[in-house]
Chain A
């Protein structure tokens, strides 16, 4: 699915260069469920954003579906991203002014999918994550768990082959956290590649493989026996 080769990302602030990622080499295969762990500031999010093409590497190669996208323009990246990647965030990132249904539909609108089909797909995915009864509610009328379910629905409604989840359970209590993890596991079982950043070893256990980052380096990789 994707391969990072000698990939680095540095930030320049006030003459101080910070290496967020330093010579990272990772390969993720189609259908994998990968967890990324590490202390605050180790580069987890930078890695996830780079994989999600929301951030550009400073050096190295990023091969996505056979193409080296490292030097691609914002517009090209946006096209690939739209087709291939869904996102889930710690703070849900739902639009406050839109209802549950509209939030989920948003992803499809930008995919230029006709209205009738959009409606059908949104309804289907709402059933799947069990949020259909809240379709007309605004995000601030929902609990955290419900909001994250909406976010999951939004991430999968476009049928992208890969989902990137940035601490999806970080703002949830353990019951709701587990609920979300089970949903991700289910998606993975259906064939979606999942890359997830997490602080929770328990939730990392849902993944087949765990990558440990420290100061921008990959320090350890565990593969759980199936």
Chain B
């Protein structure tokens, strides 16, 4: 019996030629998309769950919502919190650890390498039980400044892994170069972790004085805090304990009135470590995490997209199977006459469907192997398909195949097994019913709606990326290089002079941040003069940047009122005074338009000459000398903040170089030579501003590219289905076409008749898809304060509509023309 089924199935696959190819190819592409997305999703949701006792590890995030201030959120916390909470919540917490993350320079011979180091409490390995290659967590981490590195670093610096006792020359943990001995080597961390540490240094408390803002603070948020819960303690229980402590016993209590609840303003929120990669974004505010954060929305979107692509392939299968049903009606009838029950017939067809899906799965797996390198490049990942060493994957794929087989085969099986043998064997008429034709049209509409929604979404995501890249940021960003001059503090003057001596470089300006370098320097400013209408002056929170003379000139920013900073006035530079001085320091300030409004001015001219009081390391009274238009220092994903620009030569960290040359590489070499001369033994960090600006939208670009690939696949599969269906329809309508031809229809009449038949569902699909896509994309765009105009949706929808019709026409046209040219007489005589 089974053999008979197998033979029938195989011969049907062969006999149906083009239809089988469409089915198998479509399903293979659908399954391939699914597997690719699944590999990505699996890695994303598998972050950190491999850690020992990962279900007991949590991280503590901080959020401040103070009155009159923007909400401030970060995944970091204050240095004093961890020990205090660990000791208070003894019943809930086993231990805790703090990470202090910093960049260091490792010197080896004449070379200097930038590395990330993590300084951690001694408890680190009790929470993160990372496997040692050399040494062990008990023997290697006993005293401050013990240094554990990864195998990769050991190989990088020593070419071997047994490096215990070797020393690394490290710069600037404190201010001096020091030799640090390696006490242990751990295995490389897998990709699936939010930890990015390759050098783990045991905390040296002597490095942090009592008034330091890293370890001994309740409000400066500079460390990452993790706890390990006791077994059987839930995160919620621990959270309640922390909240109670915050409200009643923590030192923060003193910052608020007695009737105020601390947790209304400051919250310490916990998140399980395995959730961090995908969900930390919710708590991260504008600041990042240790490693780039995943995006649970994107994951969800791609799961949906994978499902839809597969669904489209399944619909092809359903449509072609039921369309072909009449061809197999006689077989069904004969089987029934010979004693088969309806269930047996249905099972036969289901089995056939599953067999075809499994065949498709094999092709899909080959395809995945082929495209995986490209896919990895696109995502910046190193995903692998380890089919045989990964039984879970193999099993889940088989499960998917069976589910898809059932999904795609159910309707045809039900439909085909319904045939009554008496009717079929007697009549020469087609057994095709009206309802199955309708069902097919409906499914085609569904397929095309999905494809159209995907394509419109792709175009909008792309459009927004293009828009973001081309938005007028308010300053001249072409031909700019940004150099990190943090390590060059003493040599800024000579560095600038030498750089300017290069003929390619027309200006070198210093600032605390270059454009795209976000900071969270916010401070309260108060206008001293009263407004003309007598409104009282509130303290206003402004973001502030520092710069040297010439910054705005170099970026071609012109003031809308007043002037830019000018050396000739001699009064612009902030004159810093000691913190206890009674006399305020003087200086000038330039505001952007948003700050102007925030301070209550109605015109830019009004502000000129007024005074802003401000307190950072001593009191300052700053004269407003100019107002500039809003410029996008940050990604346009965020609003422009009210900003004050001041002139403070002690806080300069970035140099902006304006250049003009065709020989970029020689320019870069020259700059590097100058750097090495002025700042020896420090790696150079030089970037094109245009690249930095583009990098702000990397996530969106990747999303757009993935979207593009998968929506194109969806379109291809849907078109294949339409092609198959049109081939079938043409076959079915041969007689009718013959009649029409005998009646005098021309080839053109026939082709347009058939094309219209297939344009209808595609047109309906458009009308259904447009509002859905528009709604979805408008809500997506809402997350961008500066976004593509909504009106763009109209040409995008119309364009996609036209394109879908053209695609449908060219898909169907070939089949239609072929049949229209056929001699009608054959169709009419022999049915």
| A contacts, CB < 8 Å to B | 45, 49, 54-55, 74-75, 78, 81-82, 87, 89, 91, 93-97, 106-107, 110-111, 154, 158
Contacts and interface: CB of A to CB of B under 8 A. Distances in A.
A154 B824 CA distance: 17
A145 B736 CA distance: 20
Given A55-B823, A93-B735, A93-B739, 13 more contacts: A45-B829, A55-B825, A78-B744, A87-B742, A91-B831, A93-B742, A94-B739, A95-B739, A106-B743, A110-B745, A110-B746, A111-B744, A154-B743
B519 interface: no
B579 to A, nearest CB: 92
A95 B829 CA distance: 14
A49 B825 contact: yes
A94 B739 CA distance: 7
Contacts of A45: 829
B743 A107 contact: yes
A166 B823 CA distance: 17
Q: Which 9 A-B pairs have the closest CB atoms?
A: A82-B744, A110-B744, A54-B825, A107-B743, A95-B736, A93-B739, A110-B745, A106-B743, A49-B825
A55 B824 CA distance: 9
B749 interface: yes
Nearest to B738: A93
B427 to A, nearest CB: 11
B192 to A, nearest CB: 59
B740 interface: yes
B828 interface: yes
Contacts of B744: 78, 81-82, 107, 110-111, 158
Most B CB atoms within 10 A — which of A55, A78, A93, A107?
A93
11 contacts: A54-B824, A54-B825, A81-B744, A93-B738, A93-B742, A94-B739, A95-B740, A96-B736, A110-B744, A110-B746, A110-B749
Contacts of B828: 89, 91, 93
A147 B353 CA distance: 41
A54 B824 CA distance: 7
A106 B746 contact: no
Contacts of B749: 110
B743 A110 contact: yes
Interface string B778-820: 0000000000000000000000000000000000000000000
Given A93-B739, A95-B736, A54 B823 contact: yes
Contacts, number: 45
Contact of B736 (A82, A97, A111): A97
B299 to A, nearest CB: 48
Most A CB atoms within 10 A — which of B738, B824, B828?
B828
Contacts of A107: 743-744
Interface in B642-668: none
A106 B740 contact: yes
Interface in B346-376: none
A110 B829 CA distance: 22
A69 to B, nearest CB: 16
Contacts of B740: 95, 106, 110
A111 B741 CA distance: 12
Contacts of A93: 735, 738-739, 742, 828
A89 B395 CA distance: 59
A162 to B, nearest CB: 14
Nearest to A49: B825
A96 B735 CA distance: 10
Contacts of A87: 742
A187 to B, nearest CB: 18
A91 B742 CA distance: 14
Nearest to B428: A91
A34 B735 CA distance: 27
Most A CB atoms within 10 A — which of B735, B739, B741, B746?
B739
Interface string B716-755: 0000000000000000000110111111111001000000
Contacts of B736: 95-97
B483 to A, nearest CB: 75
Contacts of A154: 743
B739 A54 contact: no
Contacts of A110: 740, 743-746, 749
A96 B433 CA distance: 12
A81 B741 CA distance: 10
Interface string B250-270: 000000000000000000000
A74 B748 CA distance: 13
Nearest to A48: B825
A203 B423 CA distance: 33
Nearest to B739: A93
Nearest to B437: A97
A95 B732 CA distance: 12
Contacts of B743: 106-107, 110, 154
Contacts of A74: 821
Most A CB atoms within 10 A — which of B736, B746, B825?
B825
A133 B420 CA distance: 34
A110 B743 CA distance: 7
A109 to B, nearest CB: 8
A97 B740 CA distance: 13
Nearest to B749: A110
Nearest to B828: A93
A49 B740 CA distance: 16
A212 B746 CA distance: 34
A89 B828 CA distance: 8
A206 B829 CA distance: 24
B210 to A, nearest CB: 91
A212 to B, nearest CB: 21
Interface string B507-521: 000000000000000
Contacts of B821: 74
Interface string B36-68: 000000000000000000000000000000000
A74 to B, nearest CB: 8
Nearest to A154: B743
Contacts of A111: 744
B625 to A, nearest CB: 81
B4 to A, nearest CB: 31
A110 B750 CA distance: 11
Contacts of B824: 54
A172 B738 CA distance: 22
A115 B317 CA distance: 42
A139 to B, nearest CB: 11
A104 B757 CA distance: 21
Contacts of B739: 93-95, 106
A10 B742 CA distance: 22
Contacts of B825: 49, 54-55
A95 B737 CA distance: 9
Contacts of A55: 823, 825
A193 B824 CA distance: 23
